[in-house]
């Protein structure tokens, strides 16, 4: 990563700050960050220091009430008839059909791939999903089934879901998944380092993962449910994007708190501001706890209103889900026939 020219620097409002780098001031709003300040003062050195690549990025304080309120307002947007059909079809196109269970078998992955290619066998108008997301062990199976199709293979890697394995092992896992045929790699941000104020370490690990991933797209999971505040979410978003992430992703789906609309809005705003400062368009993937068609179009509304129609594309927006597709298909079926079908009509 290159350091940002001074002219790009945006002036964040500074109130309370610890550890400065250049003229950037880090804001302290969370318990986690206060813990970091203790560590910084106790162990002077790199802790709390800001990687140069982040200097000048708009890591401004967030407005939690504003985010919640705007997300709630956007969630009320009424989407009907043709717009609803278009939104549901787009949700299918942007979907990462996911199975991340300890009991995943090649057979299950194969049937998921079949479903990814032709989500609704009776209706060819329903497009294929964006990608199938599996554990590294099963990347080969998915890659074989999806070779020559528009559906990509995504793999979690880097000691998913905690992300706390030895860095060498994590990088090897990423490289392994890529060479097995993964087009996209989902890693987790090292929240341990991030929350302890070792931003440099967290940054370097993402950058190294990007390198290890090679041609594959890198999605960085922030696990926002564990970050504690919107300020931390914004800071983690900026850190991941500056370190080279192609996508930033909300959650692993493995902890209780998953994607929420305000968190997605917060990250979308970070993506927008990063694009303004850096010029690079980073994607957003929302994942975890998204089960209903209505939730999916609420996220689409947030994307469209925050980032514009350019981001309503599988290259820049993804929904990671395992059971969402069935509800979307059910709603599409209902739009076509006018009747609510049995939910068990769609399986897998």
Partner 1 sequence: MSTAGGGLGVPKTYKMYVGGAFVRSESGRTYPARSAGGDLLAHAVAGSRKDVRDAVRVARGAQAAWAARTAYNRGQILYRVAEVMDSRRAELIRELARATTGSEATADPAGEVDVAIERWVWYAGWCDKYPQVLGGANPVAGPYFNFTVPEPMGVVGIASPDEAPLLGIVSRLAPALVPGNTAVVLAGERHPLVAVTLAEILATSDVPGGVVNVLTGRRAPLVRALAGHGDVDCVDLSGCDPADHDDADVAAEAERLAAETVTRVVHATVGERHWLEAAAQSPYAISAFCEYKTVWHPKGR
Residues marked as catalytic: 186, 249, 285
Query: Nearer to partner 1 by C-beta: 224 or 326?
Result: 326
Query: Nearer to partner 1 by C-beta: 254 or 294?
Result: 294
Instruction: Count the site residues for partner 1 by CB under 8 A.
Output: 6
Instruction: Tell me whether residue 341 is exposed, middle or buried, using C-beta atoms within 10 angstroms of its C-beta: 0 to 12, 13 to 18, 19 or more.
Output: middle
Query: Nearer to partner 1 by C-beta: 2 or 78?
Result: 78
Distances in whole angstroms, Cα of residue 125 to Cα of each of 92, 120, 282, 319: 11, 8, 29, 20
Contact call for residues 244 and 1 (beta carbons, < 8 A): yes
Q: How far is the CB of 325 from partner 1 (least distance, A)?
A: 18
Query: Nearer to partner 1 by C-beta: 9 or 334?
Result: 334
Q: Residue 181 and residue 293: Cα distance in Å, rounded?
A: 30
Q: How far is the CB of 72 from partner 1 (least distance, A)?
A: 17
Residue numbers 100-129 binding partner 1 by CB under 8 A: none
Q: How far is the CB of 59 from partner 1 (least distance, A)?
A: 41
Q: How far is the CB of 331 from partner 1 (least distance, A)?
A: 11
Q: How far is the CB of 326 from partner 1 (least distance, A)?
A: 13
For 299-310, b/e burial (b = at least 16 CB within 10 A) is: bbbbbbebbeee
Q: Does 76 bind partner 1 (CB under 8 A)?
A: no
Query: Nearer to partner 1 by C-beta: 73 or 340?
Result: 340
Query: Nearer to partner 1 by C-beta: 24 or 294?
Result: 294
Residue numbers 327-346 binding partner 1 by CB under 8 A: 339-343, 345
Q: Which of 232, 234, 188, 238 is nearest to 209 (CA)?
A: 188
The CB density around residue 73, as the number of other CB atoms within 10 Å, is: 11
Q: How far is the CB of 322 from partner 1 (least distance, A)?
A: 18
Q: Tokens at residue 250, please? A: 């909300």
Per-residue binding string, partner 1, 125-164, x by CB under 8 A, is ----------------------------------------
Contact call for residues 159 and 198 (beta carbons, < 8 A): no
Residue numbers 189-228 binding partner 1 by CB under 8 A: none
Q: Which residues bind partner 1 (CB under 8 A)?
A: 339-343, 345
């Amino acid at each position: 990563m290159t350091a940002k020219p001074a002219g790009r620097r945006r002036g964040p409002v500074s109130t309370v700050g610890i550890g400065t780098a250049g003229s950037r001031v880090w804001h302290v709003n969370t318990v986690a960050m206060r813990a970091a300040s203790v560590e910084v003062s106790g162990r002077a050195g790199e802790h709390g220091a800001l990687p140069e690549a982040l200097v000048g990025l708009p890591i401004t304080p967030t407005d939690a009430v504003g985010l919640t309120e705007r997300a709630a307002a956007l969630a009320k947007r009424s989407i009907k008839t043709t717009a609803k059909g278009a939104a549901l079809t787009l949700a299918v196109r942007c979907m990462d059909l996911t199975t991340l269970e300890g009991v995943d078998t090649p057979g299950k992955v194969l049937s998921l791939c079949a479903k990814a290619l032709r989500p609704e066998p009776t209706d060819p108008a329903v497009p294929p999903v964006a990608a199938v997301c599996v554990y590294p062990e099963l990347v080969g199976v998915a890659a074989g089934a999806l070779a020559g199709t528009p559906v990509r293979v995504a793999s979690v890697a880097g000691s998913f879901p905690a992300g706390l394995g030895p860095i060498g092992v994590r990088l090897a896992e990423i490289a392994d998944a890529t060479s097995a045929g993964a087009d996209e790699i989902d890693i987790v941000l090292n929240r341990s380092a991030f929350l302890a104020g070792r931003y440099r370490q967290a940054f370097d690990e993402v950058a190294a993962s990007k390198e290890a991933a090679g041609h594959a797209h890198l999605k960085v999971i922030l696990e926002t449910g564990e970050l504690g505040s919107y300020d931390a979410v914004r800071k983690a978003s900026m850190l991941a994007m500056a370190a080279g992430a192609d996508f930033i992703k909300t959650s692993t789906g493995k902890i209780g708190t998953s994607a929420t609309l305000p968190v997605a809005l917060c990250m979308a705003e970070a993506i927008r501001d990063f694009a303004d400062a850096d010029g690079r368009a980073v994607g957003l993937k929302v994942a975890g706890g998204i089960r209903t068609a209505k939730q999916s179009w609420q996220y689409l509304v947030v994307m469209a209103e925050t980032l514009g129609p350019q981001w309503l594309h599988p290259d820049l927006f993804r929904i990671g889900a395992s059971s969402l597709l069935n509800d979307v298909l059910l709603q599409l079926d209902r739009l076509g026939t006018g009747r609510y079908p049995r939910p068990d009509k769609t399986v897998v």
